[in-house]
Amino acid sequence: MGFVKEFREFALKGNVLDLAVGVIIGGAFGKIINSAIADVIMPLVSIPGKADFSNLYFPLTEKGREAVNAAYQATGINPSLEEARKAGAVFAYGSFITEVINFTILAFCVFLIVKAFNTARKRFEAEKAVPPPAGPTNEEKLLAEIRDLLKSGR
84 close to 90: Cβ distance less than 8 angstroms: yes
Amino acid identity, position 130: V
- The angle that helices 93-127 and 14-35 make with each other, rounded to 10 degrees, is 130
Report the C-alpha gap between 99 and 56 in whole angstroms. Answer: 13
Sequence-distant contacts of 61-66: CB under 8 A, at least 24 apart: 61/87, 61/88, 61/89, 63/87, 63/88, 64/88, 64/89, 64/90
Q: Where does the pLDDT of residue 51 fall: very low under 50, low under 70, confident under 90, or very high at 90 and above?
A: low
Dump pLDDT digits (tens) for 3-49.
Answer: 888 887 777 776 777 788 888 988 888 888 888 877 887 777 777 66
pLDDT of residue 115: 92
